[in-house]
Amino acid sequence: MLGRTAAGLFWLARHLERAGNTSRLAEAGFRMALTRADSDTEEWQSVVTTAGCKKAYLEKHETIRSDKILDFILRDKDNPNSVLCAFHTARENARMTRTALTREVWEAINEAWMSVRDALRRPVPERDLPEILSLVRRQGAQVSGAVTGTMLRNDIYNFMQIGTLVERADNTSRILDAKYYVLLPSSASIGSSLDNVQWEMILRSASAERSFYWLNGGRASPPAIADFLIFDARLPRSLAFCYDMITEYLGRLAVEYGESTPAHELATRQENRLTDLNIALVFEEGLHEFLTSFMAQNAAFSAQIETDYRFNE
């Protein structure tokens, strides 16, 4: 496969995953803001920070406002991480790699782009926000279903899955990191009812709320939630699941291409670290420090796979 084709597939998957993740963040921010009796600035600041675009937002807007942030992360064409831009970039990557995709996948992506574009032509009123965010996730799920149901399990499929998982791992780690360093500016809030609500919203933004309570019988605590999102390999959005599957898809690429690459070593190292640690050791080290290290290594892996498989050629 040409490197630029592999790059198109990898980034097609990453941008589709990013759009869904951003919609979940927007929903979590909206729901958390409803729990505030006074200012909801911290919640919306956490959303734009987790989405990785706080600096860009503040360059365009002077204050943290819910309506401005929603418009920025959902439909602002100047924000490459907005839902609208993510779908557009995914569609452009799909168009460039059209011959590598099945007809069903191409049609699902094209329909998703047109539906989201039409829904986001105008600023989203607060009353319509849940419906619009549901549409975004539904369109992404239809693309995912088409990929799963119609694509050959070859290098094309493997690059797409790796892209999805790299983006998902980055998002989950950002969600957890934002909890302590944006949502709780004061240690006095730890253990409060507000703290508990925020942790529940973290689960919701990772699409993990129902699974967590099903496994834990309604008992929630910050260590239990962090442990679930980091180490439980049964959860499709946990860090452990993402790297278990990344190493599996890389193994398939190694068999198909007849060699392993430095990216395989980085992924295995990341997977082994997640296997060797537990939540007690993470909290002893510092959750922020652990997550910062994880995000840096995840980014390094993404850069390495681009180098190994010549994405720029």
Helix/strand/coil (H/E/C) assignment for every residue in the chain:
CCHHHHHHHHHHHHHHHHHHHHHHHHHHHHHHHHCCCCCCHHHHHHHHHHCCCHHHHHHHCCCCCHHHHHHHHHCCCCCCCCHHHHHHHHHHHHHHCHHHCCHHHHHHHHHHHHHHHHHCCCCCCHHHHHHHHHHHHHHHHHHHHHHHHHCCCCHHHHHHHHHHHHHHHHHHHHHHHHHHHHHCCCHHHCCCHHHHHHHHHHHHHCCCHHHHHHHHCCCCCHHHHHHHHHHCCCCCCCHHHHHHHHHHHHHHHHHHHCCCCHHHHHHHHHHHHHHHCCHHHHHHHCHHHHHHHHHHHHHHHHHHHHHHCCCCC
23/144 same-domain check:
yes
For the chain (length 313 residues), average pLDDT per consecutive 10? Answer: 93 96 86 66 80 90 89 94 96 96 97 97 91 95 97 97 97 82 47 62 84 84 89 96 98 95 97 95 89 96 96 86
136/39 same-domain check:
yes
138/37 same-domain check:
yes
179/58 same-domain check:
no
| pLDDT on residue 190 | 47
223/133 same-domain check:
no
- Structural domain total, the chain: 2
287/257 same-domain check:
yes
| pLDDT on residue 193 | 54
301/165 same-domain check:
yes
Where does a domain end: 151, 183, 213? 151
131/171 same-domain check:
no
Query: Which pTM value belongs to this model?
Result: 0.91
Where does a domain end: 135, 151, 167? 151
196/253 same-domain check:
yes
Where does a domain end: 93, 124, 151? 151
130/157 same-domain check:
no
29/95 same-domain check:
yes
Domain range for 84 is: 1-151
143/184 same-domain check:
no
